[in-house]
Copies of this chain bind each other. A is one copy, B any other.
Amino acid sequence: MDYIGRLTAHLPAAVRLLMIKADGSVSIHADDRAYKPLNWMSPPCRIEEAPGVWRVVNRAGEELRITLEEIFHDSTHDLGIDPGLVKDGVEAHLQELLAAAPQTLGAGFTLIRREYPTAIGPVDLLCRDGTGRTVAVEVKRRGEIEGVEQLTRYLELLRRDPLLSPVDGILAAQEIKPQARVLAQDRGIRCVVLDYDALRGVTRDELTLF
């Protein structure tokens, strides 16, 4: 196998699994590396078949060349359209739930807006606390150093706006890593640990009230 594209890669001959999907993608698997193939071509792409040689190319001109020495097994199956995956507990859900129940962050908290825009990207939640101070909230599934850095950048920008300044910061996550907590404390950023199930319950109760 040879790949010539964003990098060049070569794979010596060996017994491997080739998977060709209905979306046109091709992947070449060894018996390890979990689900990641040794090499692949993502759709949209096109397979040119010649005897013993496959050439897989995409629009960007990247190319996968596969030489078939021996076929031990070949099997084709119609899988149909997949009903799809339902995920729960990702960051977007947390943000929604928190936007619906900002008082989780502190007494008297109200939402100014979700995805408050700045020059370097949107702040997850912009709130006002019980005393009227502006609070920028970064929501994460897992609070790590990168989340603190992100919030720090937003705060720096937001604080330049005299209509918002002063601005406090909150990192809200289901789990906050010790290092992130230390860095946050050092920068005067408050950490709030979220309980997803409780939050979902609170929000449901809120909605049920009306």
B-binding residues in A (CB < 8 A): 6-12, 14-17, 19, 21-23, 25, 27, 29-40, 42-43, 72-73, 75, 77-90, 119-121, 141, 145-146, 149, 153, 179, 182-183
Closest 10 CB pairs between A and B?
Answer: A30-B82, A22-B31, A31-B79, A23-B32, A27-B35, A7-B89, A25-B34, A34-B42, A12-B83, A15-B79
**A16: which of B15, B19, B79 is its contact (CB, 8 Å)?**
B79
A89 touches B22 (CB 8 A): no
State which of B16, B36, B183 has its C-beta within 8 Å of the C-beta of A35: B36
Contact A30 B79 (CB under 8 A): yes
17 contacting pairs across A/B (C-beta < 8 A): A8-B87, A9-B86, A10-B86, A11-B86, A12-B83, A12-B84, A14-B80, A15-B77, A17-B77, A19-B19, A19-B29, A23-B33, A30-B79, A38-B82, A38-B85, A39-B85, A120-B145
Report the bound CA distance from A32 to B88 in whole Å: 21
B22 touches A85 (CB 8 A): no
Q: Give the copy number.
A: 2
Question: A121 vs B78: C-alpha distance in the bound complex, in angstroms?
Answer: 49
Q: How far is the CA of A153 from the CA of B33 in the complex (A)?
A: 34
Closest CB of chain B to A156's CB: distance in Å?
9
Chain B hits for A11, CB < 8 A: 83-86
Task: Give A13 Cβ to nearest chain B Cβ, in Å.
Answer: 8
A183 to B157, CA, bound (A): 10
| CA–CA, A139 and B171, complex, Å | 29
For chain A, what secondary structure do more than half of its interface residues adopt (helix, strand, loop), or is it mixed? loop
Closest residue of chain B to A36 (Cβ to Cβ) is B35
With both chains docked as a complex, state the minimum distance between the C-beta of A80 and any C-beta of chain B, in angstroms. 6
CB distance from A119 to the nearest CB of B (A): 6
Are the C-beta atoms of A9 and B120 separated by less than 8 Å?
Answer: no
A88 near B40: Cβ-Cβ < 8 Å: no
Which residues does chain B contribute within 8 Å of A9, judged by CB atoms?
85-88
CB pair B153 A183 closer than 8 Å = yes
